[in-house]
Every structure is written in C-alpha cells, then in structure tokens.
Amino acid sequence: MAQDRRRTEVNRPQPPLVAFDFDGTITVRDSFTAFLKWRAGPLRYALGVLRLAPGLIGYLVHRDRGRLKAQAVREFLQGLGREALEAEARSFAEIFGPRLLRPDALAAWRRWRAEGARLVIVSASPSVVVAPFAEKLGADALIATELAYDVQDRVAGAFATPNCRGPEKIVRLRAAFGPDMALKAAYGDTSGDREMIALAEIKGYQVFRGKP
C-alpha cells in the first residue's frame, strides 16, 4: 500500500510553473541600482559612479553586464557583513516596495496563484536584494545572481554564480526544477529574458506597463 501511494505521488501531475523576471517586469526600474543609490546616499553614489567610469566605458566594448555589475558590488558593497546587508535589503523593500512594483504585474501574479501555479522569480539582480520582495509576494522559488562572501561572511566583491541572465536563466531553472522543466508562462522585458520566454507556452514579453 505504501509503495502504491509513493507511485501515485510520483505520477501526480505537477502544478504549472510560471517564471517572472523581476527588474522592469515586476518592478518599474532596476532594483539593484535603486538599492545602491538608497544605501549610499546621493554624494557617495555619485562618487562611486565616477570611479566606475572606466568600467562603464569598457562595457561599450565587451557588453558584459555581469562584469559591470561585479564592479558595482566591489565599489559599493565590498566588506559589508552578510547580516547587515540582509537587514538593509529588508528595509529597502519595505520602504520602496510600494514605489517599485507594477500593479498589472502583481495582478497577473495573483491570477496565476489563484490557478495553483508554482511561481518563480528569475532575476539577474543579487538574490539578497530581491529576496525580501519574493518573500512578500509568496514566491515558491527565487533564482538570482548570488554574491560571494569571504570567510568572515563579508561581501567579497564578486559573484558566487554566473550573472543570471540570458541562457543562464535556463541553466538555473533546469537545475532547480529538472532537465525536463516546462514553463506554462514566462514574463520578461529585455533581451536577457528571451531564452526563458522562448521556452514558455505563454510568452509574455514587455506586457506589463503599469506604474504604482
């Protein structure tokens, strides 16, 4: 009887899987940049951007968003303890959530939730910044770029994973949900979401335009 029950559980159809990009899709702008600006303050942020100028110029050649983002992590977050960073990210989400989240994206999220879908956020932003939003939304999973920490649990100024963008989103989704993972729907707003959207039955490219 126990064996039959296990076989039934294995054969039971999984709820549909729906993937949402975060920045520009659920939000009206890039959450990581907004977080850095908020945390640093106007003067420190302006100084940091000046220091990043060579990297910004280099981006015009190499077009590697991950490299540029890692430079921003080193400039603004390196040496910060994990617990302090997580606390600041929670404060940021609490303060800025109402100003960042698109109402039409939230409505679509709620519709899929009502239909029993598994909802996953797949973002190129660092997971520490997106996690408080994902928790508030009740996401079933968060897949994002992971920061590296040193032995003292401080931001090391690099990433522990590849930048979660483009084909990497598919790699990470399959790692989380299996190689035969199927997307019922996927939503995104940039070229970094196209591979994910292409795999979905319902393809939502730049469909959310609402503002808080």
Structural tokens at position 115: 């239909």
In percent, the amount of the chain with pLDDT more than 70 equals: 89
pLDDT higher than 60, residue 3? no
- Max distance between CA atoms of the chain, in angstroms, equals 68
60 DSSP β-pair partners? none
Residue 62: band (very low, low, confident or very high) from pLDDT cuts 50, 70, 90 = low
What per-residue confidence (pLDDT) applies to 11? 58
The more confident residue out of 65 and 146 is 146
User: Residue 57 and residue 77: Cα distance in Å, rounded?
Assistant: 21
Q: Taking a C-beta distance cutoff of 8 angstroms, is the pair 192, 24 a contact?
A: no
Rounded average pLDDT over 159-166: 95
What per-residue confidence (pLDDT) applies to 58? 60
Q: Taking a C-beta distance cutoff of 8 angstroms, is the pair 202, 185 a contact?
A: yes
Question: Within 13 Å and on the Cβ side, how many CA atoms surround 20?
Answer: 33
CATH number of the structural domain 2-205: 3.40.50.1000
Residue-wise pLDDT for 168-200, tens only, equals 999 999 999 999 999 999 999 999 999 999 999
Rounded average pLDDT over 84-98: 96
Give residues with Cβ within 8 angstroms of 69, minimum separation 6: 32, 124, 145, 159, 163
Domain boundaries, the chain: 2-205
Rounded average pLDDT over 122-140: 97
Give, as one character, the DSSP assignment of residue 163: -
Predicted structure pTM score:
0.90
Question: What is the total residue count of the chain?
Answer: 212
